[in-house]
Amino acid sequence: MSNFTDFHFNPFIMDAIEKLGFKEPTPIQKEMIPLILEGKSAIGQAHTGTGKTHAFLLPIVQRIDVNKQEVQAVITSPTRELATQIFDRLKEIIEGTEITAKLLIGGTDKQRLMEKLKTQPHIVVGTPGRINDLVKENALLVHKAPILVIDEADLAFDMGFIEEIDGFAARMPEDLEMYVFSATIPVKLQPFLKKYMESPVHIQINDRRPVAEGIELLLVPIRSKDRKEKLLEVCQAINPFLCVIFCNTRKTAEEVAAFLADNGIHAGEIHGDLTPRERKKMMKQIRDLEFQYIVATDLAARGIDIEGVSHVINYELPEDKEFFVHRVGRTARARLEGTAITLYGPDDEEDLDRIEEKLGVAFKHRDVKDGEWIELKDRKARKKRVKQDNELDKVAKALVRKPKKVKPGYKKQMRMEMEKIKKKLKKKSKR
């Protein structure tokens, strides 16, 4: 499928696609839309920014029967922000139609939601805990709903929501169609998937495209400086529309935010210890562009989708290298360009090698001097030189013959001969 017209969507869906400015389906959309239209359970493995939300929304909307006033699809996402974003995208598609949808998330009045559910919606979008609560109360009736979408399944697992999903999935039809979207499929998630999915189609979109496309990847050495001082230098050398600075722990994120504040940079914070009220307030401030910088942890940042991120800074490399993809994927969204800057020290060399090899990442080696960006030699230049010298040593040693009669100082003479041969070999290699 190379065009949206190939899917034979209803005219109102095609109108919505045109309004959204979509020209052609993304790889995950090409693969998943036909499967959902046909009702074949599937796992869609793709990273953030690949268009997976519309990969399930468009075909689900196509399949809704407005003559049946019952829940026909349940879409669950692990955080309120993500669920709200999915719901907002859904409203853009169904606006002006008879299709009804409800957003069911925590932090809202449960009794009021139960009142609204006296007429069951066609599509439900929500967080696992709130959906499960309303199903247990018999306020939300999912026993006839043939479709269940689990978005960000690995994050849902990390946040401990699989039991809640299991709670309402068990009440859905036996021949339930399940569509699981996830960047990674952890081994511990497999038993849950096997329980509900019999031989699902597994679509895996290549990791490399979302990492590299539209993103300039800069690698900045800390050298003798303190990591926070280097971060400050970098922040002073860029003028981002919005920059997300990633840290591995809540404690580090708080320390970095405090350090930046002490140096005149007011940064927002997103981490797991924020209360729902604080998190909601922070997200509003971010959307209102009150911050130019946000300091975040991995799990917290994966649970949200912030628009307009022009820069990402890896204050430290993630412990799980897969998160490198999630981090840099926060920028260069919606076909825009972005910059991802990674600070590194001597202890990070091996991890960088793995990221380059496994994820196909090509870094540009840069530094900041007096507020200006300067180009550095390839960080592997020294290793390459040592390796070349070792190889030349072997060749030169083989070409230098040990004299039959050994005289005093012969070893020194042999070394001098080897150096002459190495010089000749180096000259030849440069031609």
**What residue segments make up the domains of the chain, in order of their start?**
4-205, 209-375, 381-430
Query: What is the pLDDT at residue 386?
Result: 44
Q: In this structure, are residues 86 and 151 in contact, taking their beta carbons and an 8 Å threshold?
A: yes
Tokens of 115: 């009142």
Type of residue numbered 176: L
Average pLDDT, whole number, for the chain?
A: 86
DSSP reduced 3-state for 279:
helix
Taking Cα atoms as reference points, which of 4, 101, 45, 113 lies closest to residue 322? 45
Query: What is the pLDDT at residue 100?
Result: 97
Does the pLDDT at position 9 exceed 90? Answer: yes
Q: Which residue has the tokens 């994120």?
A: 253
pLDDT band at 398 (very low <50, low <70, confident <90, very high): low
* pLDDT-above-70 percentage for the chain: 85
CA gap 392, 402 in Å, rounded: 18
Query: What is the pLDDT at residue 180?
Result: 95
Map 53-107 to HEC letters.
Answer: HHHHHHHHHHHCCCCCCCCCEEEECCCHHHHHHHHHHHHHHHCCCCCCEEEECCC
The residues with which 177 forms a beta bridge, in sequence order, are: 147
Query: What is the pLDDT at residue 38?
Result: 96
Query: What is the pLDDT at residue 207?
Result: 46
Does the pLDDT at position 190 exceed 60? Answer: yes
Residue 210, Cβ neighbours under 10 Å: how many?
25
Taking Cα atoms as reference points, which of 70, 91, 71 lies closest to residue 149? 71
**Residue 174: exposure state from Cβ atoms within 10 A (0-12, 13-18, ≥19):** exposed
Predicted confidence (pLDDT) per residue in 123-152, tens digit: 999 999 999 999 999 999 999 999 999 999
Query: What is the pLDDT at residue 211?
Result: 56
Predicted confidence (pLDDT) per residue in 167-178, tens digit: 999 999 999 999
Q: Which one has a higher pLDDT value, 368 or 287? A: 368
Query: What is the pLDDT at residue 256?
Result: 96
Predicted confidence (pLDDT) per residue in 341-397, tens digit: 999 999 999 999 888 887 778 899 999 988 899 999 888 765 544 444 455 566 656
Q: In this structure, are residues 253 and 296 in contact, taking their beta carbons and an 8 Å threshold?
A: yes
Residue 427, Cβ neighbours under 10 Å: how many?
9
Predicted confidence (pLDDT) per residue in 295-317, tens digit: 998 866 666 667 788 999 999 99
Query: What is the pLDDT at residue 367?
Result: 94
CA gap 209, 121 in Å, rounded: 37
pTM: 0.68
Among the listed ranges 17-21, 154-158, 241-245, 334-338, which one has the minimum average pLDDT value? 334-338
Query: What is the pLDDT at residue 407?
Result: 61
pLDDT band at 209 (very low <50, low <70, confident <90, very high): very low
Q: Do domains 4-205 and 209-375 have the same CATH topology?
A: yes
Predicted confidence (pLDDT) per residue in 210-228, tens digit: 454 678 999 999 988 899 9
Among the listed ranges 48-52, 60-64, 187-191, which one has the minimum average pLDDT value? 48-52
CATH architecture of 209-375: 3-Layer(aba) Sandwich (3.40)
CA angle 49–184–33, rounded 5-degree value: 55
CA angle 393–398–404, rounded 5-degree value: 125
Among the listed ranges 23-32, 196-205, 371-380, 419-428, which one has the minimum average pLDDT value? 419-428
Tokens of 126: 């929500």
Return the CATH number of the domain spanning residue range 4-205.
Answer: 3.40.50.300
pLDDT band at 157 (very low <50, low <70, confident <90, very high): confident
Pairing relationship of beta strands 364-369 and 372-375 according to DSSP bridges: antiparallel
The residues with which 270 forms a beta bridge, in sequence order, are: 296
